[in-house]
Amino acid sequence: MVGALFWTIKIVATTLGESASNYVAITPLRLGYATGAVIFFVALVLTLAMQLKTDRFRPVIFWSVILTTSIVGTAMSDFMNRTAGLGYTGGAAVLTTLLVLVLVTWRATGETMDVERIATRKGEILYWSATTVSNTLGTSSGDFLSNSLGLGFRASALVLSGIMLLILAAHYLTSLSGTVLFWSAYVLTRPLGAVAENAVEKPVATGGAGVGTTVTSTALIAVLVVLVGYQTFTHRQQTRTLDTASSTGS
């Protein structure tokens, strides 16, 4: 399950999460961060309920949960940092601490942190808890790099892309724990998606390309549908092949 296609969809889904949240909360709908968070929290609960009921990997449901955690995370992060007044630095610090606590708790339970081997309800809940927090942190850390450190959207995207390449190199060239490298990359895909989306969507005056939220969201939805559709097709083909081989072997 975890390969090049997985990481590509993860980045597209989390980038769309940033754009979709901005579409609802800022422009053009202008409903506000709190309202956006409530709306998409309901969507998250519904998609997560479907995910927890299924007994196998179903790409449409799985990526729907990833997408809704990204949208909710963006709205919650923006509310914390801008409306509640924590600021980008404060928000990133609070959410980083929370993510560490979730991961430490997960490790302490003895449940596997290898996402391809999670087979219990407790493990799934821990996984989605870590995902939600990391997707919320992604917006704060992206804003921290772009605004608090003054790197801007493009430079922040380049920095995060460079770190991702280093993680990829470490996977092939070192003996570092695959689980540690996975979660490092998993967390970093979110701020990468956030700053990349901002670099395209935001007005030129603020460092973006000025494409706008509507066009950006529409393009990302189209790409996500194609990628998830392709994964669904290939996954079904692989499942049928395995079932056939199992039947023949028995």
Nearest alpha carbon to residue 18 among 78, 79, 88: 78
Computed over every residue of the chain, the mean pLDDT equals 93
Residue 147: CB partners within 8 Å, gap ≥ 6?
88
Note whether residue 240 is domain-resident: yes
Query: For 207, which DSSP code?
Result: T
Residue 153: which domain range?
4-244
Give the pLDDT confidence of 136-179 residue by residue, as tens digits: 999 999 999 999 999 999 999 999 999 999 999 999 999 999 98
Q: Is residue 249 part of a domain?
A: no
Please indicate, yes or no, if residue 93 is contained in any of the structural domains. Answer: yes
b/e map of 62-88 (b: 16 or more CB within 10 Å)? Answer: bbbbbbbbbbbbbbbbbbbbeeeebbb
Number of structural domains (the chain) is 1
pLDDT given for residue 250 in this prediction: 54
- The count of C-alpha atoms lying within 13 angstroms of the C-alpha of 9, restricted to the half-sphere facing its C-beta, is 23
Encode the chain (250 residues) as per-residue pLDDT tens digits: 689 999 999 999 999 999 999 999 998 998 999 999 999 999 999 999 999 999 889 999 999 999 999 999 999 999 999 999 999 999 999 999 999 999 999 999 999 999 989 989 999 999 999 999 999 999 999 999 999 999 999 999 999 999 999 999 999 999 999 989 999 999 999 999 999 999 999 999 989 999 999 999 999 999 999 999 999 999 999 888 877 776 666 5
Q: Is residue 133 part of a domain?
A: yes
Q: Is residue 211 part of a domain?
A: yes
User: Whole-prediction pTM value?
Assistant: 0.93
Backbone phi and psi for residue 207, each to the nearest 5 degrees, phi listed first: 100, 5
Beta carbons of 7 and 186 less than 8 angstroms apart: no
